[in-house]
């Protein structure tokens, strides 16, 4: 799940390594690395790679200003495309987490990246007309 991150602690004129940026923002190093793939500018012609504070701050502000995506029942928030997408082939897998809720997984119809969202069992029934859902075995199936 995307968590709101505050850019306030970032100093515009400082340069940060992935580790430093992660520590200041309270996110994992993996998260900071993944931001690079979705537009964070990184100085990568040297080791360690550095992120200019101003760029990091701009990136975070741009992300947090994005309105929350309102998904229709059969849509997923594709993190690769950065928007709502349908499921590839109208197919999805439901992996129960508890007796009432589970994770719905599908591939993005545009980029074929993996998308998932949490749904309740009752929401799952409402999807029958839009998606062909395979129920996979989970601990509470």
Summarize as ranges the residues that interact with Zn ion (CB under 5 A): 78, 80-81, 108, 110-111, 113
Taking the complex as a whole, how short is the minimal distance between the CB of residue 107 and Zn ion, in angstroms? 8
Residue 52 CA to residue 14 CA, distance in Å, equals 6
Q: For Zn ion, give the closer residue by CB, 85 or 94.
A: 85
Q: Rounded distance, CA 12 to CA 1, Å?
A: 27
CB of 80 to Zn ion, least distance (A): 4
Q: Please, which residue, 27 or 81, has the CB nearer to Zn ion?
A: 81
Q: What residues have CB less than 8 Å from 83, skipping those under 6 apart?
A: 69, 77
Closer residue to Zn ion in complex, CB, 61/84:
84
Position closest to Zn ion via CB = 108
Smallest distance from Zn ion to CB 111, Å:
3
CA distances (Å), 44 to each of 33, 36, 47, 63, 127, in order? 12, 10, 7, 22, 44
Place of tokens 């591939």: 107
Smallest gap from residue 81 Cβ to Zn ion (A): 3
């Amino acid at each position: 799940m995307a968590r709101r991150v505050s850019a306030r602690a970032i100093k515009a004129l400082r340069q940060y390594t992935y580790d430093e940026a992660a520590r200041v923002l309270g996110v994992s190093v993996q998260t900071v690395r993944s931001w690079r793939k979705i537009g964070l500018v990184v100085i990568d012609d040297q080791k360690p790679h550095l992120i200019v504070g101003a760029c990091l701050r701009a990136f975070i502000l741009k992300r947090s200003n994005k309105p929350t995506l309102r998904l229709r029942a059969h849509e997923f928030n594709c993190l690769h495309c950065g928007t709502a997408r349908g499921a590839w082939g109208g197919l999805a897998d439901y992996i129960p987490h508890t007796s009432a809720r589970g994770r719905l997984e599908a591939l993005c119809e545009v980029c074929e990246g993996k998308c998932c969202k949490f749904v309740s069992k009752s929401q799952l029934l409402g999807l029958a007309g839009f998606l062909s859902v395979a129920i996979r075995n989970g601990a509470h199936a």
